[in-house]
A and B are shown apart, each in its own frame.
Chain A
Amino acid sequence: MIELAGLGKSYGTVHAVRELDLSVRAGEVYGFLGRNGAGKTTTMRMLLGLIRPTTGTGTVFGKPLGDPSSVARIGSLVESPAFYPHLSGRDNLRLLARYSGLDDSTVDSSLELSGLGERAGDRFTGYSLGMKQRLGVAAALLGKPELLILDEPTNGLDPAGMREMRELVRNFANNGGTVLLSSHLLGEVEQVADRIGIIHSGRLVAEGTLAEIRTRLGGPRLVVRAEPAAAAETALRAHPGVRSVRRDGTTVEVDLGTATAAGINRGLVVEGIEVSELRVEERTLEDVFTGVTAA
């Protein structure tokens, strides 16, 4: 669906995106993560043909980036929603529908889906941030697109709105659509994304399912509370298969590597160390994100 190879965008000596290889498959929700200024929005703009890459190539629906026939099949919300302030939400959508050669009937169904129905007749300039965001989503859904590109779609939404957005994204994918979703709310992405890509300083530094990336970064971690903690740390560092150990007071965090929790427990007891807690923790997306973008 989306294939990028060595894509780059430079502004003078500043490289916003560099050598980006990325692949989004049909029917999946792809979580596109990165810190502020990592290059997410620039990449999304290149996908839509709004800005032109300085290096590399890419295709969407098998067509070059920005090709009108492929952009017509995309619904997008990139950065903050921008609409005509003097027009109502509904009139803004009617205008966009005309640009795309769509019927006015598509407008009401999009408004319904976005949850803006009641306030659709109000002027855009009077909308709250959340309502503007909903209108942006309604615009993205106009004309039943096959691919949604959503840049921080939950900005300004209340918790109920965030849940609705999550359901909307998931339902869209369940009905055969594809979603490229960027968000700072890693928990949100974790709940809806089939695969994630992490961009850092303009480069893609990790891509795959969350489980794949967790494994690549060292798999689950073991939290050990033991006395004396210093002796426990020394014993754990010497334990076969353990990848890394970090102590914080009486708590020691262990990257298990090939070791097992049972083996470690046995080893500590043999050393005469008193173990009060032993807990295996899966790495969250936040852990993964922090690990990958820490450099």
Chain B
Amino acid sequence: MITNNLRAELFALRRRPGVLAMAGMWSTQVVVFAYLVPYIVYLTQGSAMAPTVAADMISGLLPEGAHYYVAGALPTFGGPVMLVIGALLATGDYRWGTLRTILGRQSDRGAFLGGRFLGLLVALLPVAVVTLALGLLSSGVIALVNASPARYGNPLVLALELGSLWLVMAAWGSVGFAVGMLTRSPATAIIVGLLWTVLAENALALLANIVPGLGFLSTLLLGNSSNRLAVGLGSEPITITGAFGVQAQGTPLLAAAVLAAYIAAAFAVSHAALRRRDVT
């Protein structure tokens, strides 16, 4: 039953202009804000910068650091985009009244929700691939223009980075989906989701930093865990400021586990919301 629903979701996803537009917007952001703008800044202001700052800047833009650099942009810019995609997927049927058309044909709500949630997770995989590919491509072009060597990272590291990208995207998308299922309104879901991830998480992180004994709280936050995966796959616990000024604590394994927990919790919340709700 769930395979039928997943088949339907993937069919619908390929034809959803809102979701495709958001994915396209994120791809544009990667190229423009992660590569084009910084490279223009480097070209125009590089000579005025301290040599070490300028060297750091261009090294992040070259292929060797592309995998880490692209992922660094994700929590800051990509996370909210994925949250919006999740919210749009969860609320579209409430907006168009199509939930009753679908559930009036097949009333297994668990299978419907499972199919839709899996559809979101599957759909984010090509987005992650395109994100990494754009990063590699953009950095290759910069290397060519800058006459720098185009040394791409180890394929295994790239594969791990791709997995990290997908996990971060899936966690943000899932949170957006769950908030969408709870609120049933795309605008409310997006506002609540962004307020939580941008304001509430930062406030909690601040609290965790200043209140003794609450330090562990930081490692449980969506933003921190995303950042921790973004800044590198080293196994040591760290507190680091990575690309785009992101703050991160903990180990990558813990971060991955936290993000997976967000995905599982988002599904559980969505299921609980839909299971008993009257569809009118």
Binding site for B on A (CB under 8 A): 45, 48-52, 66-68, 71-72, 74, 76, 78-87, 91, 94-96, 98-101, 139, 142
Contacts and interface: CB of A to CB of B under 8 A. Distances in A.
Interface in B92-110: 92, 96-98, 100-108
Interface in B238-257: none
B7 A83 contact: no
A72 B7 contact: no
Contact of A86 (B17, B97, B108): B17
B11 interface: yes
A78 B100 contact: yes
A267 to B, nearest CB: 57
A286 to B, nearest CB: 30
A134 to B, nearest CB: 15
A91 B279 contact: no
Interface string B1-31: 1001101100110011100000000000000
Which of A76, A91, A99, A139 has its CB near the most chain B CB atoms (within 10 A)? A99
17 contacts: A50-B104, A51-B278, A52-B278, A67-B107, A68-B108, A79-B100, A80-B97, A82-B96, A82-B97, A86-B16, A95-B8, A95-B11, A96-B105, A98-B11, A100-B4, A101-B1, A139-B101
B276 to A, nearest CB: 8
B12 A84 contact: yes
- Top-9 shortest CB links A-B: A82-B97, A98-B8, A51-B278, A71-B107, A49-B107, A101-B4, A68-B108, A50-B279, A99-B8
A85 B106 contact: no
B15 A86 contact: yes
Nearest to B101: A82
A68 B2 CA distance: 13
Nearest to A81: B101
Nearest to A87: B15
Nearest to B5: A99
A21 to B, nearest CB: 22
A96 B102 contact: yes
B98 A99 contact: no
B280 interface: yes
Contacts of A81: 101
Given A50-B104, A87-B15, 8 more contacts: A45-B278, A51-B278, A52-B276, A68-B108, A76-B105, A81-B101, A84-B15, A86-B16
B91 to A, nearest CB: 13
A78 B107 CA distance: 14
Contacts of B98: 82-84
Contacts of B15: 84, 86-87, 91
Contacts of B279: 45, 50-51
Contacts of A91: 15
A16 to B, nearest CB: 11
Nearest to A142: B105
Contacts of A84: 12, 15, 92, 96, 98
A91 B12 CA distance: 9
Given A82-B96, A83-B96, A86-B16, A48 B8 contact: no
B4 A48 contact: no
Which of B92, B98, B279 has its CB near the most chain A CB atoms (within 10 A)? B98
Contact of A94 (B11, B105, B108, B111): B11
B104 A78 contact: yes
Contacts of A101: 1, 4
A67 B107 CA distance: 7
A68 to B, nearest CB: 4
Contacts of B16: 86
Contacts of B111: 68
Contacts of B100: 45, 50, 78-79, 82
A99 B107 contact: no
B165 to A, nearest CB: 28
A60 to B, nearest CB: 11
A68 B12 CA distance: 22
Interface in B125-171: none
Contacts of B106: 68, 71-72, 99-100
Interface in B257-280: 276, 278-280
A59 to B, nearest CB: 14
B17 to A, nearest CB: 6
Contacts of B12: 84, 87, 95
